Structure 1
Amino acid sequence: MLKEFGKCDTSSFHIQLISKVINLNRYPFIRLIIENNISEKEYNDLMELLNGLNQTYHQQKEEGLIDFTTLLVRFAGMLNEKLNPNETIAALKKEGYYPSLMNEFTNIITRESKIRKR
């Protein structure tokens, strides 16, 4: 048990050193994953969710659908509670993950924000 803690502690230290060398501002999604202590399983679940939403988005777009708010709601509802939906979308967009879907989500958020301000 003590060895496992030491190994984990060493890994954490190494990650801290690497994060000082790498400009994590260039990788905001990875930074969110690290800062919010997302596990490998949680990360894989998120990527699976995004992949599914992206496939649905492209299918619906081909079918002529123009409102994708339900996909955004599904994303926010199924997103790990450690992550903020808006921050996660912005980070994914900046790193180039699922660009069409993230642009759509950003447009919906912007449109909804303007409507609320009126």
Structure 2
Amino acid sequence: MKNEAETTAFHLHLLSKIMNMEAYPFTKLIIECDITEQEYNELIRLLDYLDEQFKRQTEEGLLDFSSLLIHFAGMLHEKLELHQTIFALKEEGYYPSLMNAFLAIIEHIKD
């Protein structure tokens, strides 16, 4: 079983060299941080939930989405860094409105 896992890892490493991984920063991050399929699925479920909350809150006229960012930060897997994950998600086109809101909050905090 160990040889099979090592072979798969080697093949993925070779594939990552021939693909333009810079065009897929979120996928690259998932691979580099050794996120498992279960951890990935949990992250996508979290993002789906937060995106639905964001849409609902937007429809209600709310303008401050800090609570969603805090929720995301608190639930994000420890293998992933918050800012890097948000930037990678945005760059790859995942949850664009939500990621734009998160980035706006982050930029506002910096100022």
Q: TM-score higher than 0.5 here? A: yes
Task: Give the C-alpha shift of residue 97 in structure 1.
Answer: 0.2
Aligned counterpart, 1:93: 90
Structure 2: any 5+ residue segments left out of the alignment? none
Aligned counterpart, 2:34: 37
Equivalent residue for 1:71, pick from 68, 82, 85: 68
**2:19 maps to amino acid:** I
Equivalent residue for 1:102, pick from 86, 93, 99: 99
Q: How many residues are matched?
A: 111
**Is the radius of gyration larger for structure 1 or structure 2?**
1
CA deviation string 1:11-31 (max 9, x = no partner):
001001000000111111011
Structure 1: any 5+ residue segments left out of the alignment? none
CA–CA distance in structure 2, aligned partners of residues 112 and 63 of structure 1: 24
| Matched position secondary structure for 2:80 | coil
CA deviation string 1:79-103 (max 9, x = no partner):
0000001000000000000000000
| Matched position secondary structure for 1:56 | helix
CA–CA distance in structure 2, aligned partners of residues 16 and 61 of structure 1: 41
CA–CA distance in structure 2, aligned partners of residues 54 and 30 of structure 1: 19
CA deviation string 1:24-58 (max 9, x = no partner):
11111011100100000000000000000000000
RMSD, matched Cα:
0.4
Q: TM-score of the superposition, structure 2-length normalised?
A: 0.99
The residue correspondences of 1:10-49 to structure 2 (distance < 5 A) are: 10-49=7-46
Q: Percent identity?
A: 51
Q: TM-score of the superposition, structure 1-length normalised?
A: 0.93
Aligned counterpart, 2:56: 59
